[in-house]
Amino acid sequence: MSVIDDLFARTRTENRAALVGYLPAGYPDKATSIAAIEAMIDGGVDLVEVGLPYSDPVMDGPVIQAAVSQALAAGTRLSDVFDVVRASAARVPTVVMTSWNPVEQFGVDKFAAALSEAGGSGLITPDITPDEASPWLEASQAHGLDRIFLVAPSSTDARIAMTARASSGFLYATAVMGVTGARDATSSAAPILVERVRQVSDVAVGVGLGISNGTQAAEVAQYADAVIVGSALVRALTDGGTDAVRALAEELREGVGR
């Protein structure tokens, strides 16, 4: 079992969903991004997604795009991302969320080795599917990393089954079609998508895209194994600094525990 498997075993005994929080490495600078992640953990986040800044993001909305652009402008490099992972992983399970191109350019096995050395638990890869990911499947197994693939409401039953078989740690279910961003209401498609996954697999399912407050977190926690929050935490950091990040994490953690 991986540390992520252990996390979900624990949250199930506590009869609650896990809280997953995303922040990009290097925003607004490396030191502050580490401090913000520590504040997020202090507020109750169980698992951290460290965003790898990339110039051509696949599914990032305007809030995360602006943060990633600033991180890149500040000179954030892959070595900085691994340093942020190292600091986060010292406290909670930590994964990297990244477009595939930086991994491929760095070298898939080399990236996996560096992530493992930093204490990372796995990768979320929104723009590559299991049938296209043979090098990553091999490298992740060689270095003991979890593979977190995505499914969407538009995914066919066959695609969901194939993706679930290839995933480990958890499966990322995108609650809505489109890019990231906080929304006023959660998606009615999300519970149906989670149920479709559970008909073919017992892998843990995390639901993300659009969750911004404790009420929405509580709603999603009724049917998902994990509640994933990104844009709202980035906006909190932008608008109010690390104190605001901690306060929002506390609100979200209260929500998943209702």
Per-residue pLDDT tens over the stretch 58-111: 566 789 999 999 999 999 999 999 999 999 999 999 999 999 999 999 999 999
Cα–Cα distance between 80 and 66 in angstroms, integer?
A: 19
* pLDDT at site 62: 87
pTM for this prediction: 0.93
- The parent domain of residue 111 ranges over 3-256
Catalytic residues: 49, 60
Total count of domains within the chain? 1
How confident is residue 57, by pLDDT bands cut at 50, 70 and 90? low
Is the per-residue pLDDT at 185 higher than 70?
A: no
What's the average model confidence in pLDDT over 201-205?
Answer: 97
Residue that wins the pLDDT comparison between 22 and 186: 22
How confident is the model over 13-28, as pLDDT tens digits?
Answer: 999 999 999 999 999 9
How confident is the model over 147-172, as pLDDT tens digits?
Answer: 999 999 999 999 999 999 999 999 99
* pLDDT at site 177: 42
How confident is residue 176, by pLDDT bands cut at 50, 70 and 90? low
- Evaluate whether 177 touches 210 at the Cβ level (below 8 Å): no
Is the per-residue pLDDT at 173 higher than 60?
A: yes
Is the per-residue pLDDT at 56 higher than 90?
A: no
Is the per-residue pLDDT at 195 higher than 90?
A: yes
* pLDDT at site 178: 42
CATH (domain of 29): 3.20.20.70
Across the chain, mean pLDDT equals: 93
* pLDDT at site 187: 61
How confident is the model over 207-256, as pLDDT tens digits?
Answer: 997 899 999 999 999 999 999 999 999 999 999 999 999 999 999 999 99
* pLDDT at site 216: 95
- Percent with pLDDT over 90 in the chain: 89
> DSSP labels for the chain?
--HHHHHHHHHHHTTS-EEEEEEETTSS-HHHHHHHHHHHHHTT-SEEEEE---SS-SS--HHHHHHHHHHHHTT--HHHHHHHHHHHHTTS-EEEE--HHHHHHH-HHHHHHHHHHTT--EEE-TT--GGG-HHHHHHHHHTT-EEE-EE-TT--HHHHHHHHHH--S-EEEESSSSS----SS--THHHHHHHHHHTT--S-EEEESS--SHHHHHHHHTT-SEEEE-HHHHHHHHHHHHHHHHHHHHHHHHHHT-
Beta bridge partners of 24: 51
